Amino acid sequence: MTDKGLFGQFGGSYVPEDLEKVLQVLADEFEKAKQDPTFIQEFKEVLAEFVGRENPLTYARNLSENQGGAKIYLKREDLNHTGAHKINNAIGQILLAKRMGAKRVIAETGAGQHGVATATACAMFGIECIIYMGKHDMKRQALNVFRMELLGAKVVSVDAGQGRLKDAVDAALGDLVENYQNTFYLLGSAVGPHPFPSMVKFFQSVISEESKRQIVEKEGKLPTAVIACTGGGSNAIGAFAHYMEDEAVRLIGVEPAEAPSLTEGVPAVIHGFKCLTLLDEEGNPKPTYSIAAGLDYPGIGPEHSHLKETGRGEYVTVTGQQALEAFKVLSETEGIIPALESAHAVAHAMNVAKELKQEDIIIVNLSGRGDKDVQQVFEMEHGSKE
């Protein structure tokens, strides 16, 4: 990686000049913050006191024994406050916002999970929070809109364009350019122009910092493979980060077969950065549909694009149907209902485990809990009322 946030040919910052200036200030401030022991200490303290870290690395004994083969461990991001890994990044960026003297935090959200994590962190730090959301997404995610409002955030309906995530991103960027002097844009995944992918990775790396220490304590050795689902790629990059130099550890990202950016995408610039992405005939980001809303993104973080290209990362797809089966298997065998996103990683881990030996270890990053998905799965099984 260079100073400009390049990962091989991917990443970078392809934005208008006025936005570029704002992002440069952010990049400089982030470089200082990550080397400031006081900043790191406060981040660690909030993660401990508010998020509930460190979370366990649970041996999934029943699942492992049923499958045969490798031992499967689960990194329990599902046990974090608000039920997923997204809060790690939201806390880190809010601390940076505070450090930079921001008075308002803005964010965009599609399915609502990043909006809820941002609103939660803003409530905790007493910072004004504005969430941009496409008009259509607001209708589909009415309960998450209400959650954000309960947390004191203002949810702004974006009617422009299709009234979806992309339009919400445009609205949030417009707000940032206009109000950059007092406003911080809190991005939710390891995507977007520099410095966001590096920043999000830094804050999510706590996942593998913990899991590496935990697995060495429990097993006295490193895992054979680390497996995580990829939407934009933030939980996966955090789960991989501290194993990057351990060449023997396989790093496996699992995409939904319905949005396979890495497996079928081509290099292109979307949303201000270059990555492997799915394009339609006109060269625009292709609409995708995954049963897991958090994985529904036509692109992927630049570092994953690079890991794929160099071969350091392996990327595979799992269908919604396979994820749904894994959702049920993990619930029944371990008493843990996973998020549908995480169930993609579980599904692939079950297959990999069978191919490995008993002395092998797999760590699955359980990015979130499934409470949010129970109603959707119910409707898929029993038919929706509508």
Ligand X SMILES: *Cc1c(COP(=O)(O)O)cnc(C)c1O
Which residue number, 107 or 236, has a Cβ lying nearer to ligand X?
Answer: 236
* Residue of 64, 141, 211, 234 that binds ligand X (CB under 6 A): 234
Shortest Cβ 295–ligand X spacing (Å): 6
233 binds ligand X (CB under 6 A): yes
Residue from the set 294, 299, 302, 313 that interacts with ligand X by CB under 6 A = 294
Pick from 120, 144, 183, 189 the residue near ligand X by CB under 6 A. 189
Q: Should residue 141 be labelled a site residue for ligand X when binding is judged by CB under 6 A?
A: no
Of 293 and 361, nearer to ligand X (C-beta) is 293
Nearest distance, CB of residue 232 and ligand X, angstroms? 4
Q: Which of 39, 367, 373, 377 binds ligand X (CB under 6 A)?
A: 367
232 binds ligand X (CB under 6 A): yes
Mark the segment that binds ligand X (CB under 6 A) among 57-65, 94-102, 230-238, 319-327: 230-238
Contact residues for 130 (Cβ-Cβ < 8 A; gap 6+): 104, 105, 106, 107, 153, 154, 156, 175
Tell whether residue 158 is a contact of ligand X (CB under 6 A).
Answer: no
CA-CA-CA-CA torsion sign (52, 142, 259, 285) = negative
88 binds ligand X (CB under 6 A): no
Report the nearest approach of ligand X to the CB of residue 127 (Å).
22
Closest-CB residue for ligand X? 368
Taking the complex as a whole, the smallest distance from the CB of residue 179 to ligand X amounts, in Å, to: 26
Site for ligand X in 3-62 (CB under 6 A): none
Asked if 108 interacts with ligand X (CB under 6 A), we say no
x/- map, 246-285, ligand X, by CB under 6 A: ----------------------------------------
CB of 341 to ligand X, least distance (A): 3
Of residues 183 and 189, the one with the C-beta less far from ligand X: 189
Least distance between ligand X and beta carbon 259 (Å): 11
Active site residues: 86, 108, 367
Question: What number of chain residues touch ligand X (CB under 6 A)?
Answer: 19
Q: What is the 3-state secondary structure (H, E, C) of the chain?
A: CCCCCEECCEECCCCCHHHHHHHHHHHHHHHHHHCCHHHHHHHHHHHHHHHCCCCCEEECHHHHHHHCCCEEEEEEHHHCCCCECHHHHHHHHHHHHHHCCCCEEEEEECCCHHHHHHHHHHHHHCCEEEEEEEHHHHHHCHHHHHHHHHCCCEEEEECCCCCCHHHHHHHHHHHHHHHCCCEEECCCCCCCCCCHHHHHHHHHCHHHHHHHHHHHHHHCCCCCEEEEECCCCHHHHHHHHHHCCCCCCEEEEEEECCCCHHHHCEEEEECCEEEEECECCCCCECCCCCCCHHHCCCCCCHHHHHHHHHCCEEEEEECHHHHHHHHHHHHHHHCCCECHHHHHHHHHHHHHHHHCCCCCEEEEEECEECHHHHHHHHHHHHCCCC
**Judged by CB under 6 A, which of 295, 349, 361, 363 binds ligand X?**
295
Binding site for ligand X (CB under 6 A): 84, 86, 113, 189, 229-236, 294-295, 339, 341-342, 367-368
